[in-house]
Amino acid sequence: DAGITQSPRHKVTETGTPVTLRCHQTENHRYMYWYRQDPGHGLRLIHYSYGVKDTDKGEVSDGYSVSRSKTEDFLLTLESATSSQTSVYFCAVGRGESREQYFGPGTRLTVT
């Protein structure tokens, strides 16, 4: 599992509330990623990080922000959750020359 944990594993929240998801890794990888998984869309990249305080947008970044203040932690924040952000969120680390993606167990988020 590449030493990745995600918290919480499940969350139900109301529209308009802020939500923060945490990804923690124990193997000191430089690259970390946040994806969302939805039926019919596969996995889509939200944001990624290539070092402490170094982040960039993926293909579906609107409505999300990220922070990385320590190598081991990568936080995903929904400033004001919407129903369209109901999804399963996966964190990944990138290993090796090709940044092979190794995924965490996921967080199921429901916005009501």
Partner 1 sequence: GENVEQHPSTLSVQEGDSAVIKCTYSDSASNYFPWYKQELGKGPQLIIDIRSNVGEKKDQRIAVTLNKTAKHFSLHITETQPEDSAVYFCAASIDTGNQFYFGTGTSLTVIP
Decide: helix, strand or coil at residue 103.
strand
The least distance separating partner 1 from the CB of residue 69, rounded to whole angstroms, comes to 20
Q: Choose among 44, 74, 48: nearest CA to 60.
A: 44
Task: Pick the stretch among 14-22, 40-48, 66-74, 78-86 that binds partner 1 (CB under 8 A).
Answer: 40-48
Select from 72, 73, 75, 106 the one that contacts partner 1 (CB under 8 A): 106
Q: Choose among 83, 85, 91, 93: nearest CA to 107.
A: 91
Q: Does 62 bind partner 1 (CB under 8 A)?
A: no
Over the window 8 to 27, marking each residue x when it contacts partner 1 by CB under 8 A and - when it does not, the resulting string is --------------------
Which residues of the shown chain bind partner 1 in the complex (CB under 8 A)?
A: 1, 4, 31, 33, 40-45, 48, 50, 56, 58-59, 90, 92, 94, 97-106
